[in-house]
């Protein structure tokens, strides 16, 4: 900052104790080497005090009191200035507000070209901060185009692309399409004709600074033709069946809980089918038993059996059997629970309960529970 004295009168002004004459309607800049001389001047105080001279700090004219303090070296005015011309933008005690504007994104980088032969390419260098590349393929052509990117600009790798219109993610295309690729961290991106029969494929590569991503689609596809094997909300089961090095994946419908239970009055002493207990495993399903249980309110034994007819033909064979306890009412409950279930049946198998009492009286409750897959 400077120390400047302005003579605003039409006559020259003499500051006697400094030996300086300031011409009429002009100004005098005090050399830094004379600051102490002027600080000790009494004449300059008088001349500034009666407004004959005005003190300027190089930016603005100061008030009389501020000007005297400034010349004497006991005043420091804190101001904020900006721009190349030193324009004053604030004073002491001012509160300045800044406006937070979002940084503008770098403009998109557009590259165009044509693929007309095997291994021909259309490529572009990726600027720092670019995250996504959109690639448009048009024209009349027959061949395979591979989407590639490079970290170092020399070594190229194929990149998974997402069709804008939806569909199977792939690093190649044999048709006109519009895709986008995550190019975060890449130095270059390109489209390459990796198989060629005929025609011209027109390529447009649009790089943007917006974050790169590839959205996962909500359906599952399988097979070489990309046929759909599932939808959102489906539960799928993987069958670990290897055939010629491949794994078979089977779609699985939602599980269905099965419950067969009843309460009957026992009035015969021979083995009897338990009413409403028959269950046949549907086609394409299997059955896991979770629980088999019963209760008998007579102080005599009774046999309870879970039987199975394999494939729906032939004799029923006992799968589980229990002899309900004879220790008195409320002490005769019996139950077997397998939290994760145990596989005991496949499609076509038939299950039922039978009971065989020692005496023909009392009430029996029994049932079995499971999950149908």
User: For 64-84, how does the pLDDT look when each residue is reduced to its tens digit (9 = 90+)?
Assistant: 988 888 888 875 555 555 555
Which pLDDT value is given to residue 81? 53
Determine the Cα–Cα distance for residues 341 and 326; give it in Å rounded to an integer. Answer: 28
3-class DSSP assignment, residue 38: helix
Which pLDDT value is given to residue 341? 85
Average of per-residue pLDDT across 174-191: 91
- Is residue 261 scored above 70 in pLDDT? yes
What Rg, from alpha-carbon coordinates, does the chain have?
A: 47
CATH number of 256-372: 2.60.120.760
pLDDT band at 251 (very low <50, low <70, confident <90, very high): very low
Range of lowest pLDDT (171-175, 273-277, 364-368): 364-368
Residue (of 265, 287, 283, 290) closest to 359 by Cα position: 265
Determine the Cα–Cα distance for residues 357 and 325; give it in Å rounded to an integer. Answer: 12
Element (H, E) at 14: strand 13-15
- Is residue 238 scored above 80 in pLDDT? no
CATH number of 109-208: 2.60.120
Tell me whether residue 31 is exposed, middle or buried, using C-beta atoms within 10 angstroms of its C-beta: 0 to 12, 13 to 18, 19 or more.
exposed
Beta-carbon count within 10 A of 229 CB: 15
Which segments of the chain belong to CATH 2.60.120.760?
Answer: 256-372
Token pair for residue 122?
Answer: 């259309």
State the chain's mean pLDDT as an integer.
81
Range of lowest pLDDT (74-83, 174-183, 210-219): 210-219
- Is residue 177 scored above 60 in pLDDT? yes
Tell me whether residue 169 is exposed, middle or buried, using C-beta atoms within 10 angstroms of its C-beta: 0 to 12, 13 to 18, 19 or more.
middle
- Is residue 32 scored above 80 in pLDDT? yes
- Is residue 211 scored above 50 in pLDDT? yes
């Amino acid at each position: 900052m400077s120390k400047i004295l302005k003579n605003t009168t039409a006559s020259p002004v003499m500051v006697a104790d400094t030996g300086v004459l300031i011409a009429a309607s002009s100004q005098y800049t005090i050399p830094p080497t004379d600051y102490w001389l002027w600080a000790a001047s009494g004449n300059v105080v008088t001349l500034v005090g009666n407004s004959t001279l005005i003190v300027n700090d190089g930016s603005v004219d100061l008030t009389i009191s501020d000007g005297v303090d400034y010349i004497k070296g006991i005043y420091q005015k804190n101001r904020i200035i900006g721009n190349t011309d030193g324009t004053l933008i604030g004073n002491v005690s001012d509160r300045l507000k800044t406006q937070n504007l979002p940084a503008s994104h770098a403009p998109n980088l557009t590259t165009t070209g044509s693929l007309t032969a095997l291994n021909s390419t259309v490529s572009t260098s990726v600027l720092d901060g670019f995250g996504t590349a959109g690639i448009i393929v048009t024209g009349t052509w027959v061949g395979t185009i591979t989407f590639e990117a490079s970290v170092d600009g020399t070594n190229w790798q194929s990149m998974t692309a997402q069709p804008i219109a939806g569909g199977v993610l792939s690093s190649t295309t044999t048709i006109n399409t519009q895709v986008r690729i995550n190019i975060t961290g890449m130095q270059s991106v390109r489209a390459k004709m990796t198989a060629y029969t005929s025609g011209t494929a027109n390529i447009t590569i649009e790089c943007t600074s917006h974050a790169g991503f590839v959205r996962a689609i909500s359906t599952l596809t399988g097979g070489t033709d990309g046929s759909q094997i599932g939808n959102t909300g489906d539960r799928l089961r993987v069958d670990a069946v290897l055939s010629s090095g491949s794994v078979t994946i089977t779609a699985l419908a939602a599980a269905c809980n099965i419950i067969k239970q009843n309460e009957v009055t026992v009035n015969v002493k021979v083995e009897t089918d338990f009413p409403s207990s028959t269950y046949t495993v549907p086609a394409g399903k299997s059955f896991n038993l979770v629980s088999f249980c019963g209760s008998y309110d007579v102080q005599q034994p009774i046999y309870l059996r879970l039987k199975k007819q394999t494939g729906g033909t032939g004799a029923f064979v006992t799968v589980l059997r229990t002899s309900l306890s004879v220790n008195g009412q409320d002490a005769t409950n019996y139950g077997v629970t397998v939290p994760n279930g145990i596989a005991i049946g496949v499609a076509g198998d038939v299950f039922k309960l039978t009971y065989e009492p020692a005496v023909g009286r009392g009430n029996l409750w029994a049932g079995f529970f499971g999950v149908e897959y």
